[in-house]
Amino acid sequence: MKPRILLISDNLPETNSLQRTLSDHNVYVQCDNIDGSDIRHIIANQHINLILLDDSCFSMLGYLNSVARETGVILILHRHDDELIKTSMNYNVKGFLLKPLYPGLMSTIHHALQGANDNH
């Protein structure tokens, strides 16, 4: 399954390098200033199959889990945070990436998508 990603962050300029990296790997990325009401529409119309959620928007995780239950989430963390990771296990989180270098970016994405395929 080819990744089609919705990137959610409060600091869009900070995500430019991530967007460029994904673009270099020919991955579709949508990164807009969106609110909760737009998410269902974007996921359906753009065939989004994975969400990258910056930890600055962690409060949206519960909402994402309710409206996009079948869409996996990868959390982007500024630093390793055991409490945040533990809390996220109650949701559809498929992996974690650390800023600013995003080690293992593509393998984390493909692993998350493979897990989604295994669940169907």
pLDDT band per the 50, 70, 90 thresholds, residue 77: very high
Strand order in the sheet with 72-77: 28-30, 4-8, 50-54, 72-77, 93-98
Instruction: For residue 60, give the nearest of 101, 68, 70 by alpha carbon.
Output: 68
Distance (Å, rounded) from C-alpha 92 to C-alpha 104?
A: 19
Q: CB-based burial of residue 72 (10 Å sphere; 0-12 exposed, 13-18 middle, 19+ buried)?
A: buried
Count CB atoms within 10 A of the CB of residue 107: 10
Distance (Å, rounded) from C-alpha 74 to C-alpha 24?
A: 19
Domain that residue 78 falls in: 4-118
- Mean pLDDT throughout 48-58? 90
pTM score of the predicted model: 0.87
Tally of domains within the chain: 1
Summarize pLDDT for 94-112 with one digit per residue, the tens.
999 998 888 899 999 999 9
Summarize pLDDT for 17-33 with one digit per residue, the tens.
888 888 888 888 877 66
pLDDT band per the 50, 70, 90 thresholds, residue 120: very low
Mean pLDDT (the chain, rounded):
86
Q: For the domain that residue 111 is a member of, what is the CATH number?
A: 3.40.50.2300
Confidence at residue 14, expressed as pLDDT on a 0 to 100 scale: 75
Confidence at residue 37, expressed as pLDDT on a 0 to 100 scale: 73
